[in-house]
Amino acid sequence: MAETNLTNCDVEPIHIPGKIQAHGFLVAVNSNNFAIKYVSDNIEEHLGVEPKEILGKNISFFNKVLQDKAEVVDLENLLTLGARQAGFDIINPYKIKINEQPFYLIIHKSNGSFVLEFEPATLEYDIQNVIGKAVSEILINKSLDKLLTKAAQEVKNMIEYDRIMIYKFHEDGHGEVVSEVKNDELEPFFGLHYPASDIPKQARELYKLNLTRIIADVNVESVAISADSTVDHLDLTQSTLRAVSPIHIQYLKNMGVASSFSISLISQGELWGLIACHNYSPKFIDFKAREGCKLIGNILSSALEYRQVEEDTDLQNHYTARLNELSENLERDKVIVNALTAYPTTLLDIVNAKGVALVFEDKIYTKGETPNNEELKELFDWLKLTMTETIYHTKQLSTLYKPGIAFKNIGSGILACMLSKDMGELIVWFKPEQLQTVNWAGNPDKQIEMLPNGEAKISPRNSFATWAQIVANTSLSWSNTEISGVLKIREKINNAINKTANEIRLLNERLKLAYEELDTFSYTISHDLRTPLTSIKSYTELFLLKNNTVDEQGKNLLSRVLSGADKMQFLIDEILKLARVGRAEFELSKINMQELIDEAVNTSVAAYKAFDTEIIVSECPQVSGDQTLIGQVFSNIIGNAVKYSSKAEKPTVKINAVLRGEEVIYSISDNGIGIDVNHHDKVFELFKRMENVKDFEGTGVGLAIVKRIIERHNGRIWFESELEKGTTFYIALKK
């Protein structure tokens, strides 16, 4: 127990201290029969009567005692009036003179008692006029910083304390000085943070109930309250004279503060902060001046609440506008990933995050700053197991997911949205670590002090040197506005997915009809077109055979008819091959590429009589694919290389392969005629042939077939070419 945090200060019963401050005195009576139940021990100093002389007596007895020292006042009538009105606002403060000195009587109800507090009346100026001017000056300012500073200045003008601070509470209960007006000789406290234990939870609750708090002199001992032996401690929650916690008194002494005054600032029903006032010599503020300051606090509280609502509304409008733009993207673009990531407004713009990752259809897409793909996959797997609701968010990911410490600079906080648990599709936004160097006013861990009797007593710290604490592994919190926006975009995305699914279903039905029509078309080509072509060719050949009288010109014309029929037959066969590639079922297997390439080389050399072409084949690693279809690919590419390099001075074809990750990339190079750069985009189009290939046989179908086969194998094909210098085709397939 060498060190501890002051968590047990939260249970100190500060609302029933059994004492009051010495600048006034107190009497409390039973609210039913007006019998005196409590009296402060200093009543003798003011009225010359001991507590025991009046305890248990009726209020009328006290009234007589009071009249001996003061002007005539009917306390019983005042209490009766307050009881009927259910409050004493119309009475407080009731001004009387005691021993020729002005006092205020302030009455309030506490459980079953009416509490009468007497304190000096010292105000010597027109408080209403001062308050009116102060409020006008404060409300001129539009920005929050200027509003707070002006409020502090006006309070200082009114009560003339040495230091006025605006003290804001953070989410974890600790406070920060966000504005300050002080005497020039004092060191600044602006920007300093104070631990939550400085103002414990139950003290903060009292600040919500009692909006001002005066401590007139920390060096004067508190006055005990004597009570009828049959009653419990008097609840002084609403008391203006309530004594101060000894720990807080010591705290103020350690700071050199002799008197303090605070005004509560309430926003949306919660304690936003305090106007904390320090004076370095004893100073009392009378009731009316305190009420004037309370009015300033109320006005400032309303301004804070309005400003907070205004900021929240601006933020809400901003995110709503981005959300609407993203929704329009989803309406405009049928490709959902594009709609969410490819436009000026993306998933990243609907929340205050630095990065976002989307896993959709087994692929990961990112925007902004995110962990790497391996880290994302592990995080996604954890989220799929962890998430029981649609939305999951945290500002301290690494405390729940230990691997998160590796990317804390990017994602100390995450907001996850599950699109489909079955499909494993979700979106995760990332907020970076908010490394906050907090300037503490002293060490937030207070020491345990051992008393002479051996008991442990926690005392406030004795040093107020700045102490820096790093708040690590924590991001800014996710706001309700952000969470609400994510829920809305999730609904929009799922609607778009469902709409796309319905469209795909319709397209599948149309595709089925198209395939049936293609089958009919293929049958027509196979039978209806082949038959007349066969007739044309047969009758032409028969005519030439039986008519020896046909001259050379006629024979040439009929030979062209035969050649056209052959080309037509070849073209029909190519179209049927293309149709079959799109629909053919195939099974993947390991292919011996050495044998396949050797066969394609031999076939190509024989077909184009390219016996003088040098063909260089390097090592040929295996690939996974359909033997027949892959054979068709390499036969076509190698055949083209042999064909289009055949007129080179020294025709050469090189076939090579490299391993890259999970792929084998084959390259087939030639030193042939090449492809004009202006025609590169048409190479894989159906029936497209370049201008420089007119002297070579071909239909413009082969490369379209090759591309379709490679795509069906989830592979890649591309090329590099320069006119008159040759061409290299690259084919990437899985190992």
Query: Which residues 6+ apart lie within 8 Å of 77 measured at CB?
Result: none
First to last CA, the chain: 65
CA atoms within 13 A on the CB side of 269: 0
More confident position, 462 or 57: 57
User: Position 699: which residue type?
Assistant: T
DSSP-assigned beta bridge partners for residue 607? none
Say if residue 245 is exposed, middle or buried (CB neighbours under 10 Å; 0-12, 13-18, 19+): middle
For residue 43, is pLDDT > 90?
yes
- E-strand stretches of 672-725: 716-722
Sorting pLDDT into bands at 50, 70 and 90, what band is 518? low
State the pLDDT at residue 690: 60
Q: Give the separation between CA 711 and CA 626, rounded to whole angstroms.
A: 13
State the pLDDT at residue 18: 87
What's the sign of the alpha-carbon dihedral 718, 721, 727, 728?
negative
For residue 441, is pLDDT > 80?
no
For residue 142, is pLDDT > 70?
no
Q: Give the separation between CA 439 and CA 442, rounded to whole angstroms.
A: 9
State the pLDDT at residue 3: 39
* Phi/psi of residue 42, nearest 5 degrees: -90, 15
Q: Give the separation between CA 652 and CA 615, rounded to whole angstroms.
A: 6
Q: What is the CA radius of gyration of the chain?
A: 46
What percent of the chain is predicted at pLDDT more than 90?
37
Say if residue 123 is exposed, middle or buried (CB neighbours under 10 Å; 0-12, 13-18, 19+): middle
**Residue 249, helix vs strand vs coil:** helix
Mean pLDDT of 462-487: 76
Query: Which residues 6+ apart lie within 8 Å of 495 measured at CB?
Result: 330
Mean pLDDT of 384-410: 92
Q: Enumerate long-range contacts of 343-347, CB under 8 Å, 24 or more apart.
A: 347/427, 347/429, 347/489
Helix axes 702-712, 552-583, angle to 10 degrees: 10
DSSP code of residue 50: -
> Which of 342-351, 601-610, 697-706 has the lowest average pLDDT?
697-706
State the pLDDT at residue 2: 34
For residue range 84-112, what is the model confidence (pLDDT) as tens digits? 888 898 899 999 988 889 999 999 999 88
Q: Which of 336, 316, 311 is nearest to 326 (CA)?
A: 336
Query: Which residues 6+ apart lie within 8 Å of 19 measured at CB?
Result: 222, 223, 224, 225, 243
More confident position, 34 or 585: 34
State the pLDDT at residue 108: 93
State the pLDDT at residue 392: 94
State the pLDDT at residue 6: 42
For residue range 657-696, what is the model confidence (pLDDT) as tens digits? 999 988 999 999 999 888 888 777 777 876 566 665 665 6
User: Position 468: which residue type?
Assistant: A
For residue range 222-250, what is the model confidence (pLDDT) as tens digits? 999 999 876 678 889 889 999 988 888 88
Mean pLDDT of 468-484: 82
More confident position, 591 or 435: 591
State the pLDDT at residue 452: 67
For residue range 488-514, what is the model confidence (pLDDT) as tens digits? 999 998 888 888 777 777 777 887 776
Q: Which of 196, 244, 190, 240 is nearest to 220 (CA)?
A: 244
Sorting pLDDT into bands at 50, 70 and 90, what band is 448? low
The label of the residue with tokens 């990911």 reads 397
Mean pLDDT of 322-341: 89
Mean pLDDT of 419-434: 90
State the pLDDT at residue 463: 47
The number of helices, as runs of H, and strands, as runs of E, in the chain is 19, 29
Mean pLDDT of 536-541: 80
- Other beta carbons within 10 angstroms of residue 591's beta carbon come to 19
Q: Give the separation between CA 461 and CA 439, rounded to whole angstroms.
A: 16
Q: Give the separation between CA 542 and CA 407, rounded to whole angstroms.
A: 82
User: Position 539: which residue type?
Assistant: Y
C-beta separation of 114 from 107 below 8 A: yes
For residue range 688-707, what is the model confidence (pLDDT) as tens digits? 666 656 656 655 667 888 88
* DSSP run (H or E) holding 364: strand 363-368
For residue 430, is pLDDT > 50?
yes
**Residue 479, helix vs strand vs coil:** coil
For residue 458, is pLDDT > 50?
no
What DSSP string describes 582-633?
A: HH-----EEE-HHHHHHHHHHHHHHHTT-TT-EEEE-----EEE-HHHHHHH
Mean pLDDT of 422-426: 88
State the pLDDT at residue 700: 60
Length of the chain counted residue by residue? 735
For residue 469, is pLDDT > 80?
no
CA atoms within 13 A on the CB side of 521: 13
**Proportion of the chain in helix, strand, coil states, percent, rounded to 5:** 45, 25, 30
**Residue 283, helix vs strand vs coil:** coil
For residue range 613-624, what is the model confidence (pLDDT) as tens digits? 999 999 899 999
Start-end of H helices in 350-434: 373-386, 397-400, 408-411
User: Position 259: which residue type?
Assistant: S
* DSSP run (H or E) holding 728: strand 726-734
Distances (CA, A) of 371 to 128, 376, 486: 61, 6, 20
> Which of 183-197, 566-580, 632-646 has the lowest average pLDDT?
566-580
The Cα diameter of the chain in Å comes to 160
- Other beta carbons within 10 angstroms of residue 452's beta carbon come to 5
Average pLDDT, whole number, for the chain?
A: 84
C-beta separation of 293 from 269 below 8 A: no
For residue 284, is pLDDT > 90?
yes
DSSP-assigned beta bridge partners for residue 267? 270
State the pLDDT at residue 315: 79
